[in-house]
Amino acid sequence: MMKTALEGAVAIHFYRPSPELAPYVSTYYLTEVNLDQDGSVEDWLHPEWANLRFTAQPCLSSALGNAPLQALPETIFTGPTSQSAHFVIEGRARVWGVGLLPAGLARFVAAPASDLADRIVPVAPGGPLAPFVRIGAKVLTGKRDPAGEAARIDGFMLAVLAETRPSEEEARVRQAHAALINDDTTSVADLAAQLGMSSRSLERLSLRAFGFSPKLLLRRQRFLRSLAQFMLDPSLKWIATLDCQYVDQAHFVRDFRRFMGMSPSRYGALEHPVLRAAAQARAASAGAAVQALHRP
């Protein structure tokens, strides 16, 4: 395989949370970019659950969907997404992330998931994201220390856990999450039956806890199962990656355009210096190539 100009410039490290945090946090992850000051890496992130990201100095520009790129502050929160996130990381940069599972969003963030869905929000005092305001100051010391930083993130999140209470719906949210990521769950009616809920009650729970309707979430899971296969093995043709729930390739292409804002062929032709490295590292560390396939 021909080497690209960016090969070796990006490193991704994943760390698992303490057992007490496992129902709420998927992983902690560090993206390191090692380029000249005027260099940058660009990529397109697939839909995910919520994520907190922070760095010591501004180096990240991003936008959801087809919106123009915007420079972001040091600490940001991205709600659950149903669109691709286009991003650029500049120079020599280190960006930490905390992946929040749906139960974690419900426990740590004082807002329904639907209020934060498909949004990138600066973390500021006094709002629903207030518990995360000081995470950068508590974790980053100016010295490169990935394992130590991961341990401090874990300590920070354990303190937030101790200061918060589980939501009244936490057990139901975790049950719904497990059913949602089950490959055998094929329809909203099937999901409602597994949970013993009416379709209307399921719709309300889905918006509050997951940010989107159950129909869209099932469609997103089907799409991400296919995309994950390609990210782990880019030599595959798209037809070889299709989830068994797809009727044909045209069905998959419609979903691809809906979630990524481009065709599969265009996406496949682009370099993915961050996402390919992340898929391999995440699969090895956490057992799933993308966050939304992570089993709670």
**Average pLDDT over the chain, rounded to an integer:** 93
Looking at residues 159-178, what average pLDDT do you find?
95
- Which helix (H) or strand (E) covers residue 245, if one does? none
Give per-residue pLDDT as tens, 110-120.
999 999 999 99
Out of 14-18, 55-59, 143-147, the most confident range is: 14-18
Min mean pLDDT across 171-185, 197-211, 215-229, 232-246 is at: 232-246
Please report the pLDDT score of residue 1 as a whole number.
28
**43 pLDDT tier (thresholds 50, 70, 90):** very high
Please report the pLDDT score of residue 38 as a whole number.
81
**4 pLDDT tier (thresholds 50, 70, 90):** very low
* Selected residue with higher pLDDT from 259 and 126: 259
Residues of the chain with CATH 1.10.10.60: 170-293
- Cα separation of the two ends of the chain: 36
Q: 188-195 vs 199-210: helix axis angle to the nearest 10? A: 90
* Selected residue with higher pLDDT from 162 and 35: 162
Looking at residues 275-295, what average pLDDT do you find?
89
* Selected residue with higher pLDDT from 4 and 255: 255
Please report the pLDDT score of residue 7 as a whole number.
60
Residue 234 scores a pLDDT above 90: no
Residue 3 scores a pLDDT above 70: no
- Of 73, 59, 77, 75, give the one whose Cα is nearest residue 136: 75
CA gap 31, 99 in Å, rounded: 13
Q: What percent of the chain has pLDDT over 70?
A: 98
Please report the pLDDT score of residue 6 as a whole number.
61
Looking at residues 87-116, what average pLDDT do you find?
96
Give per-residue pLDDT as tens, 50-66.
999 999 999 999 999 99
CA gap 283, 289 in Å, rounded: 4
Predicted structure pTM score: 0.94
Please report the pLDDT score of residue 49 as a whole number.
98
CA gap 106, 208 in Å, rounded: 8
Residue 24 scores a pLDDT above 90: yes
Residue 243 scores a pLDDT above 90: no
Please report the pLDDT score of residue 203 as a whole number.
97
Residues of the chain with CATH 2.60.120.10: 10-163
Is the domain spanning 10-163 CATH 2.60.120.10? The answer is yes
Residue 145 scores a pLDDT above 50: yes
81, 121 contact by CB (below 8 A): no
CATH superfamily of 170-293: Homeodomain-like (1.10.10.60)
